[in-house]
Amino acid sequence: MTAAGERVAIVTGATAGIGFYTALGLARQGMRLVMVGRDPARTERARRLVAERSGSGRVETALADFASLAAVRRLAEALLASHDRIDLLVNNAGLISPRFQLSEDGYELTFAVNHLAPFLLTNLLLDRLRASAPARIVTVASQAHRGFRLALREVARPRDWTPLSAYGRSKLCNILFTRALARRLDANEVTGACLHPGMVATAIGDHAGALARLGWRLAKPFLIGPEKGAATSLFLATVADPTPFHGSYVIGNRMAQPDVAALDDRVGEELWMESARLVGM
């Protein structure tokens, strides 16, 4: 169980890229850290690196494949059993599927991993976060949401699927979810915010469609590195007073205006209800 005075942070997708450097920054801040990954060997290798670079002896791992809602539930059960407080949840895990695939539960894979999994995990951990107040929830969204709209009746199996449209819609869901979550939270207990990390040279674009993948590889030398990409996540995780950012979309440590579609609270509430139905909440 958690030692007296310890603050506990959970970072999903922590084995590489932005998630790895977010985890490293939090370990350097002295937090007890749980790095969530999918592959046991990669996750343990990342844990050792974070422990070595931070000098922290309080770095742990947890495993879950976010393409499975049952795995997300098992993850939540394990986290709740091992930690009597949770001060910070960073919903960082994400992907771009290069081809149309369904998750274990029969939902389009990018939507399932990028939205449904963090939606479910956040809700399963929410009571523990409230009990640990003041606590924070930080979700990594993206400017890739701009220009996309949701057709809620087919959100889990869109007919007009492409790798980038699926990714963009999932990031739109991240912002709508954050805003809907904030309406359900007391900012003095738990704050929720989301962010655009910048154009970051991670491996995520390497798995998009052929044309997008070529563009990504050509652009990569001009993008910021994942260490800089983690800066806004770390800012929201550690800023002295997070309440001004509650429910906000943040770029470069400042509140920013997302696409008008992300500000439609009616759609946000409908997405919340549909997501709850899809995950069996």
Q: Between the CA of residue 122 and those of 19, 103, 118, 251, what are the distances in Å?
A: 17, 19, 6, 22
Question: Which of 167, 156, 158, 192 shows the shortest CA–CA distance to 69?
Answer: 156
Distance CA 65, CA 99 (A): 18
Q: Is 249 a catalytic residue?
A: no
Secondary structure (H, E, C), 186-233: CCCCEEEEEEECCCECCCHHHHCCHHHHHHHHHHHHHCECHHHHCHHH
Burial of 223 (0-12, 13-18, 19+ CB in 10 A): middle
Task: Say which of 21, 107, 167, 249 is annotated catalytic.
Answer: 167
3-state secondary structure of 273: helix
- Give the residue numbers annotated as catalytic, written as ranges: 167
